């Protein structure tokens, strides 16, 4: 089971994957208004709202730069990123060993930058009047591989719940949200039942749950907050107490302080070193780190402390300095 507080402490230090020293060689050499070029970004649908908000504001200042932001899931984005097909990948989990090996085999170096926090949110339809809370153990009972074809009705979770089919909605297998959820709830990444409605596009999941009284789903907090008029979030108890004592609702406060466990997590972007040699990418990433706190909160995520953004920006400047010396 992931321990958010320890994990966050580790990732907030960042991962500098290219040895470097000195300052950013591009600092002060360009202004946004005279930049040209294009930036290709793809990956997590969870991180997408933050990156698209940043891109929209950046386009207003650097109209000569075309910034394209796609949604193929963390896994899909990582495949493109580790093959050198995109400049930046949005990720709702850290790069895994297989992806790192692919990047290495393709001579791709990169920098990992945490940009915000998220709380995976368990949601049901507003007409669902029986689920007041749920435990991690109950979520595991619903989602583990052994549940396929056997745990199919609500009253199999708690006897007092209705004798009706559960209709499940969740992240697709290319999504970092899927990886994180399965590790946190099932205990093994990329391991779950397969008989559920899956999508890397969280809007599809929102639509499914919001129109199905017997649905249960999970996705990033921002998609819940944006659609809370047609969804109901379920408090989660990280113990095994079936009466739900200690169940915690996801919120800006509970995600930031880690009490919404075990479904709180950091979000990332990864930057390709070759891309970081281009001034438009340098300016974009600096702009991202300067504005991530405000924009992540605007789209429903939880910003990191100001000192963490300052630290990430310093590491990015060291990274670009190292790129220049290659």
Angle at 75 between CA 94 and CA 6, to 5 degrees: 20
Segment 39-51 mean pLDDT: 96
Q: Which of 249, 277, 312 is the last residue of a domain?
A: 249
How far is residue 24's CA from residue 155's CA, in Å, rounded to a whole number?
Answer: 59
- Tell me the backbone φ, ψ of residue 111, rounded to 5 degrees: -125, 135
How far is residue 210's CA from residue 52's CA, in Å, rounded to a whole number?
Answer: 24
Which residue, chain included where needed, has tokens 């074809």?
149
- Looking at the chain, the whole-number percentage of residues with pLDDT higher than 70 is 87
Residues 72 and 86 in one domain: yes
Burial profile 280-297: b = 16 or more Cβ within 10 angstroms, e = fewer: bbbbbbbbbbebbbebbe
Segment 33-47 mean pLDDT: 93
Residues 131 and 225 in one domain: yes
Helix axes 73-82, 97-105, angle to 10 degrees: 20
Residues 234 and 182 in one domain: yes
| pLDDT in the model for residue 326 | 54
| pLDDT in the model for residue 300 | 87
Is the per-residue pLDDT at 7 higher than 70?
A: no
Residues 97 and 139 in one domain: no
Confidence band of 17 (pLDDT split at 50, 70, 90): very low
| pLDDT in the model for residue 307 | 95
- Looking at the chain, the whole-number percentage of residues with pLDDT higher than 90 is 79
How far is residue 63's CA from residue 36's CA, in Å, rounded to a whole number?
Answer: 8
Confidence band of 6 (pLDDT split at 50, 70, 90): very low
Q: Which of 221, 249, 277 is the last residue of a domain?
A: 249
Tens-digit pLDDT profile for residues 278-314: 999 999 999 999 999 999 999 989 999 999 999 999 9
Q: Which of 249, 275, 294 is the last residue of a domain?
A: 249
Confidence (pTM): 0.77
Residue 261 falls inside a structural domain:
no
Domain containing residue 221: CATH number: 3.40.190.10
Least confident of 124-128, 157-161, 226-230, 318-322: 318-322
Contacts of 229 (CB under 8 A, 6+ apart): none
How far is residue 254's CA from residue 141's CA, in Å, rounded to a whole number?
Answer: 25
Segment 107-133 mean pLDDT: 97
Confidence band of 65 (pLDDT split at 50, 70, 90): very high
Segment 254-278 mean pLDDT: 93
Least confident of 1-10, 27-36, 80-89, 221-230: 1-10
Domain that holds residue 196: 121-249
Q: How far apart are the first and last CA of the chain?
A: 40
Mean pLDDT value across the chain: 88
Confidence band of 31 (pLDDT split at 50, 70, 90): low
Residue 184 falls inside a structural domain:
yes
Residues 193 and 288 in one domain: no
Residues 99 and 146 in one domain: no
Segment 195-221 mean pLDDT: 95
| pLDDT in the model for residue 11 | 39
- Tell me the backbone φ, ψ of residue 281, rounded to 5 degrees: -75, -40
Confidence band of 324 (pLDDT split at 50, 70, 90): low
Domain count, the chain: 2
Residues 88 and 159 in one domain: no
Residue 195 falls inside a structural domain:
yes
Residues 111 and 156 in one domain: no
Give the residue among 106, 96, 46 at the shortest CA–CA distance from 72: 46
Residues 275 and 304 in one domain: yes
How far is residue 214's CA from residue 232's CA, in Å, rounded to a whole number?
Answer: 12
Is the per-residue pLDDT at 239 higher than 90?
A: no
| pLDDT in the model for residue 76 | 94
- Tell me the backbone φ, ψ of residue 253, rounded to 5 degrees: -75, -45
How far is residue 119's CA from residue 262's CA, in Å, rounded to a whole number?
Answer: 9
């Amino acid at each position: 089971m992931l321990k958010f507080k320890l994990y966050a402490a580790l990732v907030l230090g960042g991962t500098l994957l290219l040895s470097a020293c000195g300052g950013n060689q591009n600092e002060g050499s360009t202004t946004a208004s005279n930049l040209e070029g294009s930036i290709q970004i793809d990956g997590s649908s969870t991180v997408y709202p933050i990156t698209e908000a940043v891109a929209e504001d950046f386009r207003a200042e650097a109209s000569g730069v075309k910034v394209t932001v796609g949604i193929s899931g963390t896994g899909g984005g990582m495949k493109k990123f580790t093959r050198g097909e995109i400049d930046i990948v949005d990720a709702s989990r850290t790069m895994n060993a297989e992806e790192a090996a692919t990047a290495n085999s393709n001579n791709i170096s990169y920098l990992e930058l945490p940009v915000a926090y998220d709380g995976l949110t368990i949601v049901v339809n507003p007409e669902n009047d029986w689920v007041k809370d749920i435990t991690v153990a109950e979520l595991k009972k619903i989602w583990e591989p052994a549940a396929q074809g056997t745990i199919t009705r609500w009253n199999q979770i708690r006897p007092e719940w209705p004798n009706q089919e559960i209709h499940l909605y969740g992240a697709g297998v290319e999504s970092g949200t899927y990886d994180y959820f399965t590790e946190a709830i099932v205990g093994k990444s990329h391991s779950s039942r397969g008989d559920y409605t899956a999508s890397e596009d969280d809007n599809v999941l929102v639509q499914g749950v919001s129109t199905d009284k017997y649905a249960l789903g999970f996705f990033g907090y921002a998609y819940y907050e944006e659609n809370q008029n047609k969804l109901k979030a379920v408090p989660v108890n990280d113990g095994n107490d079936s009466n739900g004592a200690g169940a915690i609702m996801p919120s800006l406060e509970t995600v930031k302080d880690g009490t919404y466990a075990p479904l709180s997590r950091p979000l990332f972007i990864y930057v390709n070193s070759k891309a970081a040699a281009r001034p438009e990418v340098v300016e974009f990433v600096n702009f991202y780190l300067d504005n991530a706190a405000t924009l992540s909160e605007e789209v429903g995520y939880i910003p990191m402390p100001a000192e963490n953004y300052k630290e990430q920006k310093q590491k990015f400047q060291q990274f670009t300095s190292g790129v220049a010396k290659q």
